[in-house]
Amino acid sequence: MQIGVISDTHGLLRPEAIEALAGVEHILHAGDVGGVEILDRLREIAPVTAIRGNVDGFGPCAALPETEVVELGGLFVYMLHDLHALDLDPVAAGMAAVISGHSHQPKIEERNGVLYFNPGSAGPKRFSLPVSLGFLEIAGGVLKAELQELL
């Protein structure tokens, strides 16, 4: 199963992101969507699970949950926007991965058998940070993460 992971679009869905996500089976948006039209466009590619980020305090995106648990390929994934707000033990909760955004810094890290994955920011370029998104691949109960720079 191929899953696209995107975050911090801040109202900008780049053509490069749309192209990169073509063919995925599910998309996870880790917050700071910036407008419901972003989610509508992503839903044209694949089913979307999205959470609210700190800039999503008004309009339809304000109704998104702060956190979400999604089962994909038989594995449980926990989503929250700011990793510093993590308020559960992912190992005890049976999570295979924790997906976050907020920092705009792409990162793949494994701790105690749990994947911590931040796809970075796919929206407006910020400082010297890359514009990026990510992918999760689930095959045979094994989870692999990959980052892709867009610019």
Q: pLDDT > 70: what percent of the chain?
A: 100
pTM: 0.97
CATH label of the domain that carries residue 110? 3.60.21.10
Q: What is the mean pLDDT of residues 70-90?
A: 97
Range of the domain at 117: 2-149
Position of tokens 């920011």?
121
Give the bridge partners for 114, in sequence order. 111
> Which secondary structure element, helix H or strand E, spans residue 19, and what is its range?
helix 15-21
Domains in the chain, number: 1
pLDDT of 151 > 90? The answer is: no
Structure confidence at residue 33 (pLDDT): 98
Give 56-79 pLDDT, tens digit per residue: 999 999 999 999 999 999 999 999
Q: Which helix (H) or strand (E) holds 81?
A: none
DSSP string, 67-131: EEEEEETTEEEEEES-GGG--S-TTTTT-SEEE--SS---EEEEETTEEEEE--B-SS--TTPPB
